[in-house]
Structure 1
């Protein structure tokens, strides 16, 4: 059976892959129905699928377990899909709060962008549905939790450990950039880990399509690039700056400009970054080639993968 593009109406075709050996789903493909999205015409969503799969989801199809985390607009729960016992995470968002803070467009953007991703190092979105009072995002369960919490526990990572996380984050960024997406809020809190300790880039609430340059300031102050702080137009190079800040924090336990207030960050000179003595030359070089004030001069993600810091430390 084949499906034609004009048959796709408020649907997304999403490949569900095994997240670990003992939680392999019985059905490798799913047709997922959306209640917010407009019709997709992108070839990225035009994939073969099994016609026997249900295209309408509701909360009764899931067994809800313990809460995994709580945010401003709702809670994430551990859950199990009753049809095949597939373990997942369900983000439950309250419509009233979403509407009160004018976050409907941001939620729609997050779901739309995530529907285009299919990469081992990016959290997968399996389904999106709603009821009268709530929105539900059914997502990949990341058993290892936030990278930030692991960093807090260990204080800082060794260079091989940090390089592994940076390399996998780089792979994830390459994937989303190829799909014309800018993350805009890269930080340890938005990097999850699976049961094997592999990176799962998450939280695309601040992400945007990158077809053209933008001027909206968002993200986390410690990770903001100069062009964002100065309210200039920007592109995907903002993620390169954040990758450099992330690398510094993973190696040291703190951010390079964390002690500088937001206004004075406009005067930041990346060349004056102070490194602890235990940070190697190749790690410093990697970071300095990303934390560059001129966006066009930042090292590309492809060149990051070729840099000695990752090549030497990631086997």
Structure 2
């Protein structure tokens, strides 16, 4: 049974005009009279210096300053006037991301500005809340940090780590495809981040190049948790993600678990090496068919060890997919991405 297209505004437009629904029929509609976000932080995470960021402990308010006076806490709530705004870093359906600098510490961040009205109109309030609640608690070198958040009457502001080199998607399009060493390093680092997420009972559910950023030292960082879920039970039913990355159990409407991220890791590995996702087709039905029966064609330049890894990740039965811990021990990873290996530095000047 194929997944029907709906009018959800969170569809990803693909290169051939196809879209994929990112909502589910049983998603509860949100009230449109007000927008609620998790409790506003009373602390100023960037108040003193970068040491605060590196040493901060997990808390519902993200990061707390090194020292805090209870009498001053209420005065230290964030507002947009605490930041100098710079150039736009990206634009989305529900707002924009700006380069920004906190005035007191001069710490550079990315400020994601979302419009409440657009979020309410699209009925994705639950996703925004979930994104904030999950990402704010994650601490891993390959996951983009959320330092804090606040909101006013019309907007929500997310204070995010600044990833200097932008989206992996853009870098991949510039290069066409990555060499095996670079691809293996990014797969290695993403695997580490997913292992961490799963230990925290978080399923990401939307791994793709657009949701991965490249940091100052060309390190990979998971950046978007809009479709992630904290799932101690590990069994979910919601259809979400991007068409080319959907797992067989998702398109068949079956319960899914952490194994959907393992499937997406295999799809990403193929796309990094080839430049296109493995199940790309002329129309949606062909893509579904390829996914359902794992119909893949490997170009000649893809090594046997890389094929072996992808073959063990892209398995129909979720329980038979290679565990993430074993991915790090796979010969292709050990050969091309030993511990400490860094991606080849890539700049526009190297193209000329």
In the alignment, structure 1 segments of 5+ residues that lack a partner are 1-8, 17-23, 34-39
CA distance in 2, matches of 1:242, 1:254: 14
Does structure 2 conserve the Cα–Cα contact (< 8 Å) formed by 1:13 and 1:31? no
Aligned to 1:135: 156
- Provide the aligned C-alpha RMSD in A: 2.5
- SS of 2:67's equivalent in the other structure is coil
- Report Cα offsets for 1:193-217 as digits up to 9, x if no partner: 0111000111100111122211110
Counterpart selection for 2:305 from 282, 299, 308: 282
- SS of 1:232's equivalent in the other structure is coil
CA distance in 2, matches of 1:13, 1:118: 18
Does structure 1 conserve the Cα–Cα contact (< 8 Å) formed by 2:41 and 2:77? no
Q: CA 1:15 to 1:120, structure 2 compared with 1: closer, same or farther past 3 Å?
A: farther
Counterpart selection for 2:197 from 176, 188, 194: 176
CA distance in 1, matches of 2:178, 2:91: 27
Does structure 2 conserve the Cα–Cα contact (< 8 Å) formed by 1:226 and 1:265? no
Counterpart selection for 2:145 from 107, 110, 124: 124
- The Cα shift of 1:169 comes to 0.6
- The Cα shift of 1:115 comes to 1.8
- The Cα shift of 1:168 comes to 0.6
TM-score (norm 2): 0.77
- The Cα shift of 1:264 comes to 3.9
Does structure 1 conserve the Cα–Cα contact (< 8 Å) formed by 2:187 and 2:269? yes
- Report Cα offsets for 1:24-43 as digits up to 9, x if no partner: 7253456999xxxxxx5xxx
TM-score (norm 1): 0.86
The equivalences for 1:42-81 within 5 A come to 50-52=66-68, 55-81=76-102
Aligned to 1:27: 52
Confirm or deny that 1:259 pairs with 2:284. no
CA distance in 1, matches of 2:184, 2:332: 7
Aligned to 1:158: 179
- Report Cα offsets for 1:96-117 as digits up to 9, x if no partner: 0011111111100000001220
Does structure 1 conserve the Cα–Cα contact (< 8 Å) formed by 2:52 and 2:65? no
- The Cα shift of 1:146 comes to 0.5
Structure with greater contact order relative to length (CA < 8 Å, sep ≥ 6) = 2
| Bigger Cα displacement from structure 2, 211-220 vs 49-58 | 49-58
CA distance in 1, matches of 2:330, 2:45: 32
Aligned to 1:305: 328
| Bigger Cα displacement from structure 2, 89-98 vs 205-214 | 205-214
- The Cα shift of 1:263 comes to 3.2
Confirm or deny that 1:227 pairs with 2:246. no
Q: CA 1:242 to 1:97, structure 2 compared with 1: closer, same or farther past 3 Å?
A: same
- Report Cα offsets for 1:54-103 as digits up to 9, x if no partner: 65111110000000000000000000011110000000000100111111
Does structure 1 conserve the Cα–Cα contact (< 8 Å) formed by 2:40 and 2:150? no
Aligned to 2:296: 273
